[in-house]
Amino acid sequence: MSTTSLDGLEATSLSSSHVLDNPAWAALTGPHAHFAERVGRAARYPQDVAGFSALADTDDPRAWDDLATLVGPGGTAAVRGVTRAPDGWEIVRSGAGVQLVDTGLRAEPAPEAVRLGPDDVPEILDLVARTEPGPYLPRTVEMGTYLGIREHGRLIALAGERLHPPGWTEISAVCTHPDYRGRGLATRLVRAVAAGIRARGEQPFLHARADNTHAIRLYESIGFTLRCRTAFAQVRRIRAAGPEETA
């Protein structure tokens, strides 16, 4: 494992064929296969679980054909590693992110944390709407363990597990109500979620928006290392030109 610098940030360079290079595909064809809606070389989570689609290889036209079958005419998909749309597709919106891996996090339980479940989803969605840590849907809570901290019965902080490629689990939805920030609640929850991941013999990782430098610095300060930059695109299937249109 070697270390390189990406725009001043230290990044751990792993093998180009590492499972984290395509984590949604690895999850949907591995530990999260029970969620997968799949056609050949394309797969996605149900629309109320997570907004991720994945291709076995974004350079493979056959995978895009399978994705077209999966989403249908006019359908959309959020796919990692796409910067240009192939024929028959258009990019609706795109974004840049970073992927960080645990290289020295102090993982430990948080005695005040409580396990969250389906009954807590309305409160989770309200907190997510206030803090915007990233997409969260009604059944996202089923993807893994979600922990929260309550004060006087009110949910004030949250973190949990999302993508689950073999040997790894993504920590996601890390957020704290604006009225309760500055108390280290999110850090305690990240460490607690990581403790559960490590107890299974797996390693934590996470994603952040590339422009969220505050979050990136925080994660680095508690033991995560920037592994790579990532690109995400929401693509839409458009009608391919038929013979009569190109004649």
pLDDT value, residue 240:
59
Chain-centroid distance, C-alpha 91: 19
Alpha helix (H) ranges present in the chain? 23-28, 61-71, 121-131, 185-199, 213-221, 243-246
CA 168, CA 180: separation in Å to the nearest integer? 30
Taking 50 as the pLDDT cut, the residues of the chain under it are 1-16, 241, 243-247
Q: What is the pLDDT of residue 17?
A: 83
Burial (Cβ within 10 Å: 0-12, 13-18, ≥19) of residue 14: middle
Given CA atoms 209, 213, 215, 217 in this order, what sign does their dihedral have? Answer: positive
Can you give the pLDDT at residue 125? 98
- In this prediction, residue 15 carries a pLDDT of 38
pLDDT for residue 42 = 98
Digit-coded pLDDT (tens) for 18-61: 999 999 999 999 999 999 999 999 999 999 999 999 999 999 99
The pTM (predicted TM-score) of the whole model is: 0.89
Look at residue 12 in the predicted model and tell me its pLDDT. Answer: 36
